[in-house]
Amino acid sequence: MTIEWYIVLSSLLFAVGAMGILIRRSPVVILLCLELMLNAGNLALVAFSRMVGNQEGQVFALVVMVIAACEVVVGLGLIVAIFRRRLPLNVDDLRELRG
Amino acid sequence: MEEILFFAAALGALGGAIGVIGLRNPFYSVLALVVHLFSLAVLFLLLSSAFVAAAQVVVYAGAVVVLYVFVVAYVGGGEESAWEPIPGQRLLAPLFAAALFVELALAVLGSSLAALGTEGPKVGAGFGDPAAIGYLLLEKFLIPFEASSILLLLAAVGAVVLASRREAAPSEHPAESVQGPSSNGDGPSGRPSSEEVPAPR
């Protein structure tokens, strides 16, 4: 398969993740959609690394995985903290910081 | 053979992604994410990057998804309200996503990169295997590697602080007084025990 297919698939997955962030209300699902977008970026990185024939893009993908793991840990910690305070787990109700 | 694998994995990845955003129950969304991640690992293998595929399965499908399952089981599903703060948001979001996809695809495919239409140069058997990636990580990218390890440590500490049971701010938040009766009614032993438990620690 040529690299184009991977890139188009990666854009499609990114768009699906962005749509999920816009239409879902639960913070857990929004974090999942963030994972989708990060993974789409990873796919593009690895595909370009294969296109150039250089392995350094795969190292970038690994670093993105680390960032994603950090984001999950902090985001889920926030969700647990929100749940402990008995606040609603709905991003539209948690809008105190909105300007 | 490679085409069949690619299209099977692409369908799995896309189906998993749509399942994540389409399923009502967050638990099923997490399971759809597992399908998505395994399909992506197959795609990484097709791109001859074995180590990234293995890390994908181990880190994501192993650790991250388990964390998600724990949190979803803890906070419960919860139904989503139909209330929209921005009118028509649910209608506009797919349009935005379609525009984003078209724009990204056009931006890449219109870049006239000659190598996009190829399968990439011939690479040896050692391309993307753990030895090569490990060499890169520990030689050329040592500083980013160490920086990401520090970042992981900071994230772990931050998560412990965020989710610690000791409710750090019962006095500084005025909302706490509003919550007081409900939390007392829910678990009368919760508040005293949370103050007694940290002392022996």
Shortest CB distance from B133 goes to which of A52, A59, A78? Answer: A59
Does A84 sit within 8 Å of B151, measured CB to CB?
A: no
A46 within a domain of the structure (yes/no): yes
- If one counts the domains in chain A, the total is 1
Does the pLDDT of residue B198 top 80, yes or no? no
* Average pLDDT of chain B, as a whole number: 79
A98 within a domain of the structure (yes/no): no
Sign of the CA dihedral running B183, B184, B189, B192? positive
* pLDDT value of residue B26: 87
SS3 call for A9: helix
* pLDDT value of residue B102: 92
- pLDDT over 90 percentage in chain B: 35
Does the pLDDT of residue B59 top 90, yes or no? no
Shortest CB distance from B26 goes to which of A28, A42, A73? Answer: A28
- B115-162: per-residue pLDDT in tens? 777 777 777 777 888 888 888 889 899 999 999 999 999 999 998 888
Q: Give residue A76's domain range.
A: 3-84
A41 CB near a chain B CB, below 8 Å? no
* pLDDT value of residue B185: 41
Burial (CB < 10 A; 0-12, 13-18, 19+), residue B149, is exposed
* pLDDT value of residue B54: 92
**Rounded distance, CA B64 to CA B70, Å?**
10
Does A86 sit within 8 Å of B52, measured CB to CB?
A: no
Query: What value does the mean pLDDT take over residues B44-48?
Result: 91
Query: What value does the mean pLDDT take over residues B166-173?
Result: 53
Name the phi and psi angles at B169, rounded to 5: -125, 55
- Could you read off the pLDDT tens digit of each residue along chain A, which spans 99 residues? 788 889 999 999 999 999 999 888 888 899 999 999 999 999 999 999 988 888 888 999 999 999 999 999 999 988 888 888 887 777 777 777 766
B58 CB near a chain A CB, below 8 Å? no
* pLDDT value of residue B176: 44
A24 within a domain of the structure (yes/no): yes
* pLDDT value of residue A85: 82
CATH of the domain at A36: 1.10.287.3510
**Rounded distance, CA A76 to CA B72, Å?**
10
Does A86 sit within 8 Å of B151, measured CB to CB?
A: no
pLDDT band at B197 (very low <50, low <70, confident <90, very high): very low
Size of interface A-B (CB pairs under 8 A): 252
Does the pLDDT of residue B166 top 80, yes or no? no
The terminus-to-terminus CA distance of chain B in angstroms comes to: 59
A89 within a domain of the structure (yes/no): no
A96 within a domain of the structure (yes/no): no
DSSP string for residues in B131-193 = HHHHHIIIIITHHHHHHHHHHHHHHHHHHHHHT-SS-S-TTT-HHHHHHHHHHHHH-TTHHHH
Residue of chain A with shortest Cα separation from B106: A8
Distance of CA B166 to the CA centre of its chain: 27
Residue A42 CB contacts under 8 Å (≥ 6 apart), including other chains: A61, A64, A65, B40, B52, B56
User: Within a 10 A sphere around the Cβ of B16, how many other Cβ atoms?
Assistant: 24
pTM over 0.80: yes
A79 CB near a chain B CB, below 8 Å? yes
pLDDT band at B79 (very low <50, low <70, confident <90, very high): low
Question: How many angstroms separate the Cα of B123 from the Cα of each of A47, A51, A54, B129, B192?
Answer: 14, 10, 9, 12, 64
B33 CB near a chain A CB, below 8 Å? yes
Shortest CB distance from B26 goes to which of A6, A7, A26? Answer: A26
Does B52 sit within 8 Å of A62, measured CB to CB?
A: yes
Does the pLDDT of residue B182 top 50, yes or no? no
Interfacial B residues in 126-165 facing A (CB < 8 Å):
127-128, 132-133, 136-137, 140-141, 144, 148, 151-152, 154-156, 158-163, 165
Are the CB atoms for B197 and B165 separated by under 8 Å?
yes
**Crossing angle for the helix pair A56-84 and B142-162, nearest 10 degrees?**
10
Does B179 sit within 8 Å of A85, measured CB to CB?
A: yes
Two structure tokens written together for A13: 């997955």
Shortest CB distance from A43 goes to which of B29, B43, B119? Answer: B43
* pLDDT value of residue B95: 92
* pLDDT value of residue B80: 65
